[in-house]
Chain A
Amino acid sequence: MNHENVKSPRRWLFFLLGFSVPVGFVLFSAVVAPSIKAWLARLRWAGSAAPDEVKVEQLALERDRLKLELAYLQNRLRMSSSDSVCLSLDLRDSLLFLEIKGVQVRACSLKALEINGSVPNWVEWIRDPFVLRETQSTIRKKPIRVVIAPADTIEAMERRDDDIPVEKGLVYYTLVFDRGLSLTVAESSPEGVTNWTRKLYHESLRGLRVLWEQFSNKLLGRHEPALHVYIELSGADAKAVYRAIPVHAQLTLLPPRGVL
């Protein structure tokens, strides 16, 4: 009897010791170790890392935003080696620039902006400048007028008072670039009822075209990146841009905020 009383606490001690090994391991690895690791991590990356309150997702977003900006600037730099007039479209700040050799010679503010389509990977898509492939326009690229030389001085004198033609038509054109980008430019406030009507007509056609493309893409399961950008500029800007760019003009694009 005496023997039982002495041995019992020792047994329980060993039992508790055995019990505490797995339970202690679990508790340690679940609660204490991570805290120590976190504390060490903070010590290690203190200063170099962003503050704790900035989430990784936010940083990743910032990185992608910067990647887009870098691609845009690098494209501008690449285009500056060309002798031609180039376009840079900054959808972030709603600006369209005409550039020659890297110098922004004209800045046009966008009066309206509409974007349709989808681009799965923006960074990849805008990596290189876009190249103009096709143009549809309501105005002529070069307003050439053919004049037959006068036969003599009398005829020349008679012609002196000829009026210089003034272009009054609607400025509305679509620039189709490679890699699925199309840019439609319209003048924001066309003069006269005729021009308004023409604008409405072109608008309707454009809307139908976009709808049809979306529908056919869904039907055929196409997933190529395609972006239709519609912008409105002042009449002078719209005309200047169209007349300035060459046949195979290059364009670089900075996507708007919130695409990532």
Chain B
Amino acid sequence: MIEQDTFSPSGDLVGQGPSPQPAPKPWRWFAAGLFVGLLACVVTLVFARPLRARLFSGWTRTSVLAEARERSDLSKEIAQLKRQISQVSKRLEQKIPEEPYIVIDTSGNRIYVRRGKATLREAICSTGSYINLKTRDGMEWIFFTPRGQFRVLAKKVAPVWVKPDWAFVEEGLPIPPKHAPERYEYGVLGEYALAFGNGYLIHGTLYKRLMGMPVTHGCVRVGDEDLEYIYKTVPLGAKIYIY
């Protein structure tokens, strides 16, 4: 049987004879490109270290996000700490009396009148002598000025000194009964006195030459002018800090 070729109207050979090569599918070329691209990326990233570093310096810039977040967190924390510091500072500020108050330094024998942080007046004074007075029959006293925070409990003009037992013992005198007239002495405590508890007073003195020395029985002796200033400036109930 003779094969008969068929021709298209244009005269081209159709259907018969060796068939033409099929056109390569585009996805194969795409896959090839993908593969080569991946290979290029891997080779670049694995072997070309400087290039990798340069290329991925961008990755470190993703830390900009983390950095910004951290910066934000830190800023918030700092703001909160500043608020807390301000609050605590305010609470501490409130501890400082607004009205005039007294500070007594028993070591240096100095007295200060202050308002807030300002010193209104500074003066010398005399505080407790730390003498331990002992009698032959076993009685004893230690003369010291107490330390800590106190208040002005009473303010007196022309105070009268009610002499305690030790005052008689010190002078080698017999101790009189409790309300004996010889216990009352006038004019020895100065013009004014401020009581701050347990019989302790801030008062004046006749022994001016001993001012600034630790010679008292626990009271605080102040010069006349300073005493007047203290009396007139410091109100009843004002705080007294002794150290």
Given A17-B33, A35-B61, A41-B65, verify A50-B71 contact (CB < 8 Å).
yes
Residues of A within 8 A of B134 (CB): 146-149
The answer to whether A149 touches B243, judged by C-beta atoms less than 8 angstroms apart, is no
Interface residues of B, CB < 8 Å — how many? Answer: 79
Residues of B97-112 whose CB lies within 8 A of A: 97, 103, 105-108
Given A56-B74, A66-B81, A67-B81, verify A143-B130 contact (CB < 8 Å).
yes
Residues of B within 8 A of A11 (CB): 24, 26, 29
Assembly CA distance A69 to B169 (angstroms): 54
The answer to whether A42 touches B243, judged by C-beta atoms less than 8 angstroms apart, is no
Assembly CA distance A147 to B215 (angstroms): 13
Residues of A96-144 whose CB lies within 8 A of B: 98, 100-103, 105-106, 142-144
The answer to whether B148 touches A83, judged by C-beta atoms less than 8 angstroms apart, is yes
Per-position 1/0 for B106-147, Cβ under 8 A of A: 111000000000000000000001111111100000101001
Assembly CA distance A55 to B37 (angstroms): 39
Residues of A within 8 A of B241 (CB): 100-101, 103, 105
Given A73-B85, A77-B92, A149-B135, verify A23-B41 contact (CB < 8 Å).
yes
Assembly CA distance A84 to B40 (angstroms): 77
The answer to whether A15 touches B172, judged by C-beta atoms less than 8 angstroms apart, is no
Interface residues of A, CB < 8 Å — how many? Answer: 79
The answer to whether B213 touches A164, judged by C-beta atoms less than 8 angstroms apart, is yes
The answer to whether A60 touches B132, judged by C-beta atoms less than 8 angstroms apart, is no
Query: Which stretch in B52-60, B154-162, B178-186 binds the other chain?
Result: B52-60
Contact of A15 among B32, B142, B213 (CB under 8 A): B32
Q: Is residue A3 contacting chain B, with contact meaning CB distance below 8 A?
A: yes
Q: Is residue A244 contacting chain B, with contact meaning CB distance below 8 A?
A: yes
The answer to whether B40 touches A23, judged by C-beta atoms less than 8 angstroms apart, is yes
Assembly CA distance A66 to B106 (angstroms): 36
Query: Which stretch in A26-34, A173-181, A197-205, A221-229 binds the other chain?
Result: A26-34
The answer to whether A18 touches B148, judged by C-beta atoms less than 8 angstroms apart, is no
Contact of A59 among B34, B57, B71 (CB under 8 A): B71
The answer to whether B88 touches A156, judged by C-beta atoms less than 8 angstroms apart, is no
Overall SS of chain B's interface: helix
Residues of B within 8 A of A35 (CB): 58, 61
Assembly CA distance A180 to B58 (angstroms): 48
The answer to whether A240 touches B243, judged by C-beta atoms less than 8 angstroms apart, is yes
Given A147-B132, A150-B170, A153-B171, verify A34-B59 contact (CB < 8 Å).
yes
Q: Is residue A1 contacting chain B, with contact meaning CB distance below 8 A?
A: no
Contact of A70 among B62, B84, B171 (CB under 8 A): B84
The answer to whether A236 touches B108, judged by C-beta atoms less than 8 angstroms apart, is yes
Residues of A within 8 A of B27 (CB): 14
The answer to whether A10 touches B172, judged by C-beta atoms less than 8 angstroms apart, is no
Q: Is residue B35 contacting chain A, with contact meaning CB distance below 8 A?
A: yes
Per-position 1/0 for B26-46, Cβ under 8 A of A: 110111111111101100010
Listed in ascending order, the chain A residues whose CB lies under 8 Å from chain B are: 3, 7, 10-23, 26-27, 29-31, 33-35, 37-38, 41-42, 44-45, 48-50, 54, 56, 59-60, 62-63, 66-67, 69-70, 73-74, 76-77, 80, 83-85, 98, 100-103, 105-106, 142-156, 164, 236, 239-240, 243-244
Listed in ascending order, the chain B residues whose CB lies under 8 Å from chain A are: 20, 23-24, 26-27, 29-38, 40-41, 45, 55-59, 61-62, 64-65, 67-72, 74-78, 81-82, 84-85, 88-89, 91-92, 95-97, 103, 105-108, 129-136, 142, 144, 147-149, 169-173, 210, 213-215, 239, 241, 243
Q: List 25 A-B contacts (CB under 8 A).
A: A7-B24, A10-B26, A11-B26, A15-B29, A15-B33, A18-B35, A18-B36, A19-B34, A19-B36, A20-B37, A27-B55, A33-B62, A38-B64, A38-B65, A41-B64, A48-B75, A48-B76, A54-B71, A105-B103, A105-B241, A145-B131, A150-B171, A164-B129, A164-B215, A240-B105
